[in-house]
Each structure stands twice: as structure tokens, then as C-alpha cells.
């Protein structure tokens, strides 16, 4: 065996031992290409989701029903931009280039969460996105605070604290609407009917059709399977829906007394595939808007780069 090959064996063994001991991999550490590329794939998709995810709620900023609601929504949407920035920074520690990631998003070579391809039709959607979509994001992301890659795990700690505030603001808005007029209650129920099933799809395909899960869990990037987290989310959401006074649109939802978990109906995976394949209700609109934002604001990057070069 050559000296270089021997070094590779040592490095791989050290990496494996670090993962097995539950310790963190840091940017300066050696890591296998598959680990690096798998992380860039997931972190980039996550960052893109935060940035594209500003759009459905951002659509309501100019139509918020009061100054208070507008201030809350503005803060929430800005937080999502911040999450995108932490995540792009985490991807950069792996050698990814931020502008290249944005190009890949706009050219549809990298994915973002399916959930943001649905329209937000009324102000109740702002509350339901906070409750159900941020709720699903928290459920998925709290375990990522223990992810094996240090910069990703640390970014998740702050993101989860903020998502938790977002979830509560959504629930508080819905509680206010449910205490209002019959029309307001109907708006909330309609929004729940439209967002419930897509929010279950946020956790990804079922375990027997999830190509990345096994390796990702072996490397300690993901800590739970897609179906485990989806079940945890359903169990968490049903009592919240009861307290709010809305009906989740699934006649098969029922508590299994033996397991203590809620059984739920079949998810429309054909719809999921259509949406991640680019055929959802708002895919074209979301990407067009992101492309326009990049093009219209290119001068800011040019000016900042020129300034930095001049003063280097
Ligand atoms: N949408 O083998 P798996 C948020 C793709 S942030 C689109 O199971 P994996 C905050 C997957 O990438 C929401 N694509 O993949 C907010 C893979 O494609 P690839 C985003 C999906 O990675 C709230 C293929 O399917 N959160 O909401 C989806 O092991 C409100 C096969 O799937 C994260 O990204 C989907 N739903 O598990 C912002 C969390 N599901 O790359 C604004 C971090 C799967 O092989 C407002 N990510 N795919 O071509 C994760 O935990 C994982 O990446 C999963 C997928 C669970 C999303």
C-alpha cells in the first residue's frame, strides 16, 4: 500500500470513529466526498427553502389587517431570510459557492421544499403557515441540532428558536380568528383544509422510497427517518387542532390505543412527485420571482465587490 493510500485509510478510520463516538465533524476535518456532497445537497435545499419560503407570506405584507399584524409578519419573513443566510454560510464551509447555489436553484438543478409551491389565498394562510409549516419545520429540524456536521448543527439551534416563535405567532393569529366572526372561522378551516396534506409531504417520501435516508442516518446527518418525524408531527398537531376548534381534513385520523399514535390516511405521493418535479401550482411563479430578485439586485453585489476589492 502506498503512503498516500495508507493516509486515506487513517483519515477514513478517524472520520468513522468521530461519527461513531457522536462527536462533530468540523470544516477543517477530513471527510469523505460523499459526506461533503450529501451535506451540500441537503443544506442547499434547506437554504433555498427558507429563501423561497419568504414568498407565500411575503405576498401578504402589503395587505396585513393591522399595523401590529404587519410588524409581526415583517419580522417573521425577515427571520426566514436570515435562516437562508446562515445555511448558505454553512454550505460555504464545505466549499460550495453561494452564487453558484443560487444559479442552481434558479435553473431548477437543486430542489426546495414542496410546501412553498402552494398559494396563500387569505390572511388565514399566514396563521396556518406559521402553525403547520413552521411546526413541521421545527419537528424536522430539532433533531438536526444534533447533526454530525458542526456548522449545520449550530445554525439549526438558532433557526429552531426562531421557528418556535413563528409557530406560536401563527397559532396566536388563528386563535384570534377563531374567536371572531363565522366568516373568519370559515377562512381558518379552509386554510387548514388546503395546507394539511402538503405539510405532511414536507417530511419527504416514505421510508421505503427515500434514497438518501440510510446513508444520511449512518453519517449522523439525519437522526430520524422521514416517516418517524411525520408521525411525531401528526401526534403533535391533532391536539393542537382540537384546541383551536378546527377539523383536520382526514376522515381516517384516529388514535391507536395500542401504540398511542394517531393513524392517518394515505398521502397523495403522485401529487408530491408532481410538485417536486416542477408541476405544482406556483413553481413557475416562485422561481421567476427569485430570478427577478437576483437580476434586479445584481448591482448591489457588484458595488459591494468593487468596494471590497478597492479596499483590499
Ligand atoms: N420537498 O431521500 P430523501 C421551512 C427530495 S424549511 C422537496 O428522503 P433526504 C422553514 C430530497 O431532497 C423546509 N424535495 O431525501 C420555513 C431528495 O432529492 P435529491 C425545508 C424533497 O434529504 C417555514 C428526494 O426528494 N426543510 O419550512 C422533499 O434524506 C415557513 C428524496 O428524498 C429542510 O430542508 C420536499 N418536501 O430527506 C420557511 C430540512 N422531501 O436531492 C418559510 C432539512 C424530499 O436526492 C416559511 N432537510 N425531497 O434529488 C431534510 O431534513 C431532508 O433533506 C428532507 C428529505 C427530510 C427534506
Q: How many Å apart are CA 265 and CA 251, to the nearest integer?
A: 7
Instruction: Please report the pLDDT score of residue 305 as a whole number.
Output: 92
Find all residues with CB under 8 Å of 190, minimum gap 6, and list them: 121, 122, 124
Q: How confident is the model at residue 150 (pLDDT cuts 50, 70, 90)?
A: very high
Distance in Å, CA 185 to ligand 1 centroid: 31
Mean per-residue pLDDT for 248-265?
98
Q: What's the pLDDT band for 141 if we cut at 50, 70, 90?
A: very high
What whole-number percentage of the chain has pLDDT above 70? Answer: 98
Q: Does the pLDDT at position 1 exceed 50?
A: no
Mean pLDDT of all residues in 94-109: 97
Average pLDDT over residues 253-262: 97
CA-nearest residue, atom 34 of ligand 1: 46
Cβ of 79 less than 6 Å from ligand 1:
no
- On average, the pLDDT of the chain sits at 96
Q: How far is the CA of 208 from the centre of ligand 1 (A)?
A: 16
Q: Ligand 1 centroid vs 129 CA: distance in angstroms?
A: 17
| 198 pocket-lining for ligand 1 (C-beta < 6 Å) | no
Query: Is 39 close to ligand 1, i.e. is its CB under 6 Å away?
Result: no
Q: What local confidence, expressed as pLDDT, does residue 155 receive?
A: 96
Mean pLDDT of all residues in 92-101? 97
Q: Does the pLDDT of residue 2 top 70, yes or no?
A: no
Return the ∠ at Cα 183 (arms to 179 and 188), rounded to 5°.
65
Protein residue with its CA nearest to atom 17 in ligand 1: 212
Q: Which atom of ligand 1 is nearest to the CA of 114?
A: 1
Q: Is the full-model pTM beyond 0.85?
A: yes
Task: Report how far ligand 1's centroid is from the alpha carbon of 304 (Å).
Answer: 32
Amino acid at each position: 500500500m502506498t503512503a498516500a493510500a495508507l493516509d486515506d485509510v487513517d483519515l477514513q478510520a478517524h472520520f468513522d470513529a468521530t461519527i461513531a463516538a457522536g462527536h462533530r465533524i468540523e470544516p477543517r476535518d477530513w471527510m469523505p466526498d460523499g459526506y461533503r456532497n450529501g451535506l451540500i445537497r441537503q443544506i442547499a435545499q434547506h437554504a433555498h427553502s427558507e429563501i423561497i419560503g419568504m414568498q407565500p407570506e411575503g405576498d401578504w405584507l402589503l395587505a396585513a389587517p393591522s399595523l401590529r399584524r404587519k410588524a409581526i409578519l415583517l419580522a417573521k419573513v425577515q427571520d426566514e431570510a436570515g435562516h437562508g443566510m446562515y445555511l448558505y454560510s454553512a454550505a460555504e464551509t464545505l466549499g460550495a459557492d453561494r452564487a453558484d447555489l443560487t444559479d442552481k436553484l434558479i435553473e431548477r438543478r437543486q430542489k426546495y421544499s414542496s410546501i412553498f409551491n402552494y398559494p396563500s389565498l387569505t390572511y388565514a394562510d399566514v396563521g396556518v403557515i406559521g402553525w403547520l409549516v413552521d411546526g413541521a419545520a421545527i419537528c424536522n429540524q430539532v433533531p438536526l441540532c444534533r447533526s454530525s456536521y458542526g456548522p449545520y448543527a449550530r445554525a439549526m439551534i438558532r433557526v429552531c428558536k426562531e421557528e418556535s416563535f413563528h409557530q406560536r405567532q401563527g397559532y396566536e393569529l388563528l386563535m384570534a380568528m377563531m374567536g371572531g366572526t363565522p366568516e373568519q372561522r370559515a377562512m381558518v378551516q379552509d386554510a387548514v383544509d388546503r395546507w394539511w396534506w402538503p405539510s405532511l409531504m414536507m417530511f419527504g417520501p416514505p421510508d421505503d422510497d427515500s434514497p438518501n435516508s440510510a446513508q444520511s442516518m449512518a453519517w449522523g446527518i439525519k437522526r430520524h427517518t422521514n416517516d418517524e418525524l411525520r408521525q411525531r408531527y401528526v401526534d403533535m398537531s391533532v391536539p393542537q387542532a382540537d384546541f383551536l376548534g378546527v377539523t383536520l381534513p382526514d376522515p381516517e385520523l384516529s388514535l391507536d390505543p395500542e401504540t398511542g399514535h394517531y393513524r392517518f390516511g394515505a398521502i397523495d405521493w403522485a401529487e408530491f412527485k408532481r410538485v417536486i418535479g416542477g408541476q405544482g401550482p406556483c413553481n413557475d411563479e416562485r422561481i421567476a420571482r427569485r430570478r427577478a430578485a437576483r437580476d434586479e439586485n445584481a448591482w448591489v453585489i457588484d458595488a459591494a465587490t468593487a468596494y471590497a476589492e478597492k479596499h483590499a
